[in-house]
Structure 1
């Protein structure tokens, strides 16, 4: 596993912790958990596809989030029972909300902008250090 994947994995784990905490603290709005869920999915996709173009990562992340949200409309007994478990509730959610789609879109978009800005800054810093060493 290369360094980039390890970094993405550590961010992924941190987002899971923040997401769970956001549901436990009463004054944090519920949409923050959905926002963080989308950020988590974004970094999960990044773990598996660290060198893919940003548009691929954005579209795949949105596709996964939207599919999971629309899956909440499916109400078979087996999936309802699965949603009653802790892991099922965290991964599959409880009920469909259009506002969740907005939170997912906002979360992935903001994450993309931050990551792109960070990488631009990091690349500029790397070039600066290389010029100084010459």
Structure 2
């Protein structure tokens, strides 16, 4: 079940690089707040598929639920409850503020993955 898939691994590295560049170089009103959230679920999906040969639908649903869970943990101020509000790394990973726009971007990102997977299989 665990086996390196070079295509997904390469894609994960590309999406990771894109996320890092967005985080370090952009402070705009569109790409950073929306594009980053759209891409992060694709990064997670490709990262999982790099090493685990799970069903694509199962993986997509799990990634989306994980993203929702992380977003709703922000609504509950989990980072403060855990005493991690002073940690830059924790703020980066867990986030600090809930947004319905983030939920929308996660959903659109996974729908994009699902569509690409379907088109790829049809070829």
TM-score (norm 1): 0.73
Distance 2:15 2:29 in 1: 15
- Displacement of 1:63 in angstroms is 1.2
Q: What is the number of equivalent residue pairs in this alignment?
A: 116
**Which residue of the partner structure matches residue 39 of structure 2?**
36
- Displacement of 1:8 in angstroms is 1.3
**Which residue of the partner structure matches residue 85 of structure 2?**
80
Structure 2 unaligned segments of length 5 or more: list them: none
- Tell me: CA distance 1:61–1:77, structure 2 relative to 1, closer, same or farther (3 Å): closer
Distance 2:13 2:98 in 1: 25
- Aligned CA-pair RMSD: 2.1
Structure 1 residue ranges (4+ consecutive) displaced by more than 4 angstroms after TM superposition = none
Structure 1 unaligned segments of length 5 or more: list them: 122-134
Q: Return the match for 2:102 from 100, 105, 110.
A: 100
Distance 1:13 1:88 in 2: 22
Higher relative contact order (CA 8 A, sep 6+): 2
Instruction: Name the larger-Rg structure.
Output: 1
TM-score (norm 2): 0.79
**Structure with a larger share of its residues in helix:** 1
**Which residue of the partner structure matches residue 6 of structure 2?**
6
- Displacement of 1:33 in angstroms is 0.7
